[in-house]
Structure 1
Amino acid sequence: MGQSNMAFGLAARDATGVLSPFSFPLRLSLSLSLSRPARMFLVTLLAKGDDDITLKILYCGICHSDLSTIKNEWRNAIYPVVPGHEIVGVITEAGRNVQKFRVGDKAGVGYFISSCLSCDDCKQDSENYCPQLVPTFNSSHPDGTPTYGGFSNKLVVNEHFAVRIPTKLPVDKVAPLLCAGIAVYNPLKEHGLSEPGKHLGVVGLGGLGHLAVKFSKAFGVKVTVISTSPDKEKEATEKLGADSFIVSRDPEQMKAAMGTMDGILDTIAADHSLMPLFALLKTRGKLIALGGMTKPTEISLFPIMAGGKIMAGSIIGGVKGTQDMLSFAEEHNITAEVEVIGMDDVNTAMERLQKGDVRFRFVIDVANTIRLSYKIQNLGEQNNVV
């Protein structure tokens, strides 16, 4: 593996969440000119092993969790933060033990880049629930080395945690499937809500919600979108193919839909009451939380008990499930609706994402814009990183 062992990418320095350029050899000094709120970091990649692949990152989707992390909304930010976990790239190097991939293959990396591979969850292809899970960014490897995400030009990862990218689908529109796609696909399969003829409610029509509609319709499921915004009805039904639409603020519409749904995927992260959603479920219906509200919410148990209803949570999926999801997406031509942006546009995109101004996912064209972004080309050539 003879390529440079350095990478550069956008990073946030503090809770302002501003991303801007600065580069330096991370392992040499952490005290070089750190006065600006965020930096373009020249990060030292992990030493490459025999089971590792090196990705030249082509595209990276922007997930709402990227925004939450760089702004420290969850109080867990480890600055500097290089976000991004919807990563599609081309393999430029492969260790001698690598079997899944060859140099030149396109591969993807999602929410995590390591797990123990020996616990019960890992053995059941549910690495996403491993107690020793290492997220793709804002975490650290067992040796203490920080993890940095896909807002950068390179990534080194053990081949086990990478997936093959379908050849028949546009790679920019595939990137969001590595988080948003598997986040909805996994609970649909795991909770028996992908069976044809089932009736599914999808709360929220954002990055996760629009993919929940697409996957569910491909499964042959009846889909009702539930939203606070009446103006999303046409988009939900005519563009995405939902069967019906409910305005959750309309008591009459909510009443008419009571007891009609086998399951609900709640994709909303903003604080909201869950009890009106439970009322929409049939007996033994399932409410699956995907959005991750930050504040506790009150639940009245008696209506849930009386209907034998179930609440569960779900977070992304394992490597095998992600690969299965991509194969299904290729078979049914499922991709995300995206707005492709350059590295120079990331801060503006984050501001728009904060306001909900995106239909439906931002994707960064990393490979074609990072060398131009902030005049990084000359800086990169000086540091031998390109």
Structure 2
Amino acid sequence: MTTPVAAYAAPAAKAPLERTTIERREVGAYDVLIDIKFAGICHSDIHQVREGWGEAIFPMVPGHEIAGIVTEVGSAVTGFKAGDRVGVGCMVDSCRECENCKAGQEQYCVQGNVPTYNGVGRDGEPTYGGYSQKIVVDENYVVRIPDGLPLDTAAPLLCAGITLYSPLKRFGAGPGRKVAIVGLGGLGHMGVKIAHALGAEVTVLSQSLRKKDDGLKLGADHYYATSDPKTFEELAGTFDLIVSTVSAPLDLGAYLSLLKTHGTLANVGAPEEPVSLNLFSVIGGGKSLAGSMIGGIAETQEMLDFCAAHGIGAEIELIAASEINEAYERVLASDVRYRFVIDAATI
């Protein structure tokens, strides 16, 4: 038997979100019922509500930065109990059988993972995300939020945090390494915090110096404006790793020129339109152009434990659900420092 749950949904592409009621499935043997306390607003929510990344499923309940409390567990659940502090990120299932799933890289499931929203579950029903009061998720796709992390500032870690932690770890950010973060927004500010905690020398590359004071407080050692052509002259051949968090097309050649020999430019921002590249930008210097998409479940738990150990949470602005549409416009205007989080009690 399904359970009616209050939520905020977009009824159609590009339509404002509105309060509605959705049905959550019955708690199965391996399921966890979570009372959602907070849900972050990710730029990808806006891309999908507005079909910027292609055709989508409506009505759509966005939200894949979910923090809450377990209120019920299925009969076969072993990892969680009522009262546990938990999180749900960008996926709620995968095939579990392919080489990527078996390697703990469920986000790269060969058959395609089941996204937390704008997806179709194994039961054939559309998935609805965290802009709601409750969610039912298989325990294998739920992570534990350590006691040291407040739930509101922990919620954005379930996407923004793991999206930056994974490439920073994969490409060796640490002591003796020079790392640049492109963009100081919801993703970028987490990149600065995590790269600093990993021990790297951190530079922010932002369009302007408007957020310089913030960047330095968050842990950056240096801060440069990319609107100044001198930046690219001065920093040529400087970095071991650059992580781009921006969702607008970049001049990739210009950023690749900032890498050392064998350096890597890793992209986690996803522009809606294609970008062009002169391959000599990577051939010269043996450089790598890479991508990264969130992280697996085990790595997400590792990230949360790392953030708890280093006192890292997102910088947030807590809002009521009635402010979601306004928040979307402010995200598009870069008018948030640095992540909107919905208080689910207001849904």
Q: TM-score range by the shorter chain?
A: over 0.9
- Return the offset for 1:293: 1.5
User: Is 1:271 aligned with 2:249?
Assistant: yes
Distance 1:121 1:196 in 2: 30
TM superposition shift of 1:4: 6.8
Secondary structure at 1:172 match in 2: helix
Q: Which moved more, 1:261-270 or 1:135-144?
A: 135-144
CA contact (8 A) 1:138 1:148 kept: yes
**Residues 61 and 361 in structure 1, CA contact (< 8 A), matched pair in contact too:** yes
Structure 1 residue 322, shift from structure 2 partner:
0.3
- Alignment map for 1:11-160 (pairs within 5 Å): 11-21=9-19, 40=20, 42-130=21-109, 131-160=111-140
Separation in 2 of the partners of 1:5 and 1:160? 22
Alignment of 1:187-206 (within 5 A): 187-192=167-172, 194-206=173-185
Q: Report Cα offsets for 1:81-124 as digits up to 9, x if no partner.
A: 00000001111110111111111111100000000111110111
Cα offset, 1:302, TM superposition: 1.6
Distance 1:80 1:167 in 2: 35
Bigger Rg, which one = 1
1:290 aligns with 2:268: yes
Residue 16 of structure 1 deviates from its aligned partner by 2.7
The equivalent of 2:339 in structure 1 is 361
Q: Which residue of 1 aligns with 2:165?
A: 185
- Kept after mapping to 1: 8 A contact 2:27/2:73: no
Query: Does structure 1 conserve the Cα–Cα contact (< 8 Å) formed by 2:182 and 2:246?
Result: yes
Q: Which amino acid in structure 2 is aligned with residue 252 of structure 1?
A: K
Match of 2:300 among 310, 313, 322: 322
Structure 1 distance, partners of 2:12, 2:22, is: 18
Residue segments in structure 2 that go unaligned for 5+ positions in a row = none
Letter in 2 for 1:5: T
Q: Does 1:342 align with 2:340?
A: no
Per-residue Cα deviation, 1:229-282 (whole angstroms, up to 9, x for no partner):
121222211x21211111112121221110010000000001221111000000
Matches within 5 A, 1:169-318: 169-192=149-172, 194-237=173-216, 239-318=217-296
SS in 1 for 2:236: coil
Q: Secondary structure at the match of 2:187?
A: helix
In 2, distance between residues paired with 1:303 and 1:12? 41
Q: Which whole-Å CA distance do the structure 2 matches of 1:293 and 1:348 have between them?
A: 22
Does the CA contact (< 8 Å) of 1:247 and 1:254 recur in 2? no
Structure 1: runs of 5 or more not aligned: 22-39, 371-386
Question: After TM superposition, which residue ranges in structure 1, 4 or more long, deviate above 6 angstroms?
Answer: none
Residue of 114, 122, 143 corresponding to 1:163: 143
TM-score (norm: length of structure 2): 0.97
Letter in 2 for 1:336: A
Give the counterpart letter for 2:313 in structure 1. T
Q: Is the 8 A contact 2:2 2:25 kept in 1?
A: no
Q: Distance in 1 between matches of 2:107 and 2:270?
A: 16
Q: Kindly tell me the number of residue pairs found equivalent between the two proteins.
A: 346
Is the 8 Å Cα contact of residues 66 and 158 (structure 2) preserved in structure 1?
yes
SS of residue matched to 2:69: strand
Q: Which moved more, 1:291-300 or 1:254-263?
A: 291-300
Q: Is the 8 A contact 1:246 1:254 kept in 2?
A: no
Q: Is the 8 A contact 2:249 2:271 kept in 1?
A: yes
Tell me the TM-score normalised to structure 1 length. 0.88
The code of the aligned residue for 1:182 comes to: I
147-156 or 241-250, which deviates more: 241-250
- Partner amino acid for 1:346? I
Task: Tell me which amino acid in the other structure corresponds to 1:360.
Answer: Y
1:210 partner letter:
H
Deviation at residue 355 of structure 1 after TM alignment: 1.4
AA of the residue aligned to 1:52: D
